[in-house]
Amino acid sequence: MGTGHFFWVIFYFASLCSASLANNAKINFREKEKKVLDQILGAGKYDARIRPSGLNGTDGPAYVSVNIFVRSISKIDDVTMEYSVQLTFREQWTDERLKFDDIQGRLKYLTLTEANRVWMPDLFFSNEKEGHFHNIIMPNVYIRIFPNGSVLYSIRISLTLACPMNLKLYPLDRQICSLRMASYGWTTNDLVFLWKEGDPVQVVKNLHLPRFTLEKFLTDYCNSKTNTGEYSCLKVDLLFKREFSYYLIQIYIPCCMLVIVSWVSFWLDQGAVPARVSLGVTTLLTMATQTSGINASLPPVSYTKAIDVWTGVCLTFVFGALLEFALVNYASRSDMHKENMKKKRRDLEQASIDAASDLLDTDSNATFAMKPLVRHPGDPLALEKLRQCEVHMQAPKRPNCCKTWLSKFPTRQCSRSKRIDVISRITFPLVFALFNLVYWSTYLFRDEEDETF
């Protein structure tokens, strides 16, 4: 009998254990979540208008930690000075009113999709121009409530933010674009924003920008004081470096080619007026059009940019080549006028000599003609003898290499127009090379203290 009673006791306890396991297996934890949500967010139990308490339930400010994940940066506009970014924005804070029983660790967190059910920080982006949420296929937002009362809010948003730029070094510049987040109504006595410890800003791998490279970023605080109080503020500075290869191919190399083409005029004959004029005017108009196209893609700023220096000097070289031909043409006509005057003078001298010889030949009564001891200044024979004497009396000069080399080029003796072309062939390339040396050494090896954070 004792043995049978012991058997029934064991059977009874086994039945209870199996029933308990069966009941646990049938528990619907989604229903448990509903009951917990109704318990902590039910009518008259939670007021979303009241901010959470401070640390350890004190009356101090509520602390909200923030971190962001940059998904993409679509454009950086120089004209409007703005940039567009898509990011996942997260906030986390503790609200002790939302504590609940996790059923021995089986409820890790509760999920909400309605932000108005709980208290939310009144954060806004202070340098925002435009922005929108993403609602495809469902609103990209969620709220997680953890058993200890911690709340995590996450949302995906796209923003167009203002980015004041300094274009003095354009296109060899670096730009710092900021993302500022601040409290709109709660002062630091009630709400304080903090960057999340350990990797507060994350950037997607292989971030691609068309004309920029994201070099680095830095988080900081930017609390602002107004006549209504002090407000908590966070900011992240993004340092963008402009890709120079695009501008090298589209601007710098074509401008160099136009300047070099304008130098072809120096190698054309000075008599080829249509060819030299058309070449100079064409290159000048092309360079002016290039400059106008560059300025059209930039805002009208009051200071001089690096690209303005380059295009201005290139335009000056092209214009100088056109003016050089005007000078050559003037010198050519001046040389021609001098040659004509010299020819007339030689003809007059020769005519006077012939007249004197004819006079001596026709005088048959004279047995001999004595040459006067003193000749008048206008006498051509006296001038010729004087030149011969001067030649023999002059001391020998040391040969000038430059003059000797330049004397080989003119087609006429003392042709100034040809000398101007020869000098221009050497001077223009040397001066342009010197300008390139100064320009690139100034902008490539400049002091970058203004570009650092």
Domain extents in the chain: 31-242, 244-335+414-452
Q: What is the rounded distance in angstroms from the CA atom of residue 95 to the CA atom of residue 74?
A: 37
* Cα distances (angstroms) measured from residue 165 to each of 53, 75, 251, 255, 300: 41, 14, 21, 26, 12
* Cα distances (angstroms) measured from residue 301 to each of 76, 79, 154: 17, 10, 40
Place of tokens 């971030």: 207
Cα dihedral across residues 34, 36, 37, 43: positive or negative? positive
Is residue 342 helix, strand or coil?
Answer: helix
Structure confidence at residue 44 (pLDDT): 77
Please give the structure tokens belonging to residue 147: 């058993």
Structure confidence at residue 21 (pLDDT): 44
Q: What is the rounded distance in angstroms from the CA atom of residue 250 to the CA atom of residue 245?
A: 9
Q: What is the rounded distance in angstroms from the CA atom of residue 23 to the CA atom of residue 76?
A: 60
What is the DSSP annotation of 8-40? HHHHHHHHHHHHHHHHHHT--HHHHHHHHHHHH
**Model's pTM, two decimal places?**
0.71
**CA neighbor of 215 nearest in space, from 441, 452, 444, 405:** 452
Structure confidence at residue 164 (pLDDT): 93
Structure confidence at residue 167 (pLDDT): 92
DSSP code at position 399: P
Whether 31-242 shares its CATH topology with 244-335+414-452 is answered no
Cα dihedral across residues 352, 353, 356, 358: positive or negative? negative
DSSP tally for the chain: helices H, then strands E: 9, 14
CATH topology of domain 31-242: Acetylcholine Binding Protein; Chain: A, (2.70.170)
Cα dihedral across residues 32, 33, 35, 36: positive or negative? positive
* Cα distances (angstroms) measured from residue 63 to each of 118, 135, 166, 199: 16, 29, 36, 18
Structure confidence at residue 163 (pLDDT): 94
Per-residue pLDDT of the chain (453 residues; tens, 9 = 90+): 455 555 555 555 555 555 444 444 455 556 777 888 888 887 778 888 888 988 877 788 999 999 999 999 988 999 999 999 999 999 999 998 888 888 777 788 888 888 888 999 999 999 999 999 898 888 899 999 999 999 999 999 999 999 999 999 999 999 999 999 999 999 999 999 999 998 899 999 888 888 899 999 999 999 999 898 999 999 999 999 999 988 999 999 999 999 999 999 888 887 788 888 889 899 999 999 999 999 888 888 889 999 999 999 999 999 999 998 888 888 777 766 566 676 766 767 676 776 666 655 555 454 444 445 445 555 555 555 545 545 454 555 566 665 665 555 544 444 777 888 888 899 999 999 999 999 999 998 875 544 443
Residues whose CB is less than 8 angstroms from the CB of residue 381 and which lie 6 or more positions away in sequence, other chains included: 353, 375
Q: What is the rounded distance in angstroms from the CA atom of residue 24 to the CA atom of residue 387?
A: 133
**CA neighbor of 302 nearest in space, from 173, 174, 168, 162:** 168
Structure confidence at residue 115 (pLDDT): 82
Beta strands in 95-140 (DSSP E): 110-112, 123-125, 128-133
CATH 1.20.58.390 assigned to domain 244-335+414-452? The reply is yes
Structure confidence at residue 17 (pLDDT): 53
Structure confidence at residue 338 (pLDDT): 67
Please give the structure tokens belonging to residue 278: 């058309």
**Identity of the amino acid at 129:** K
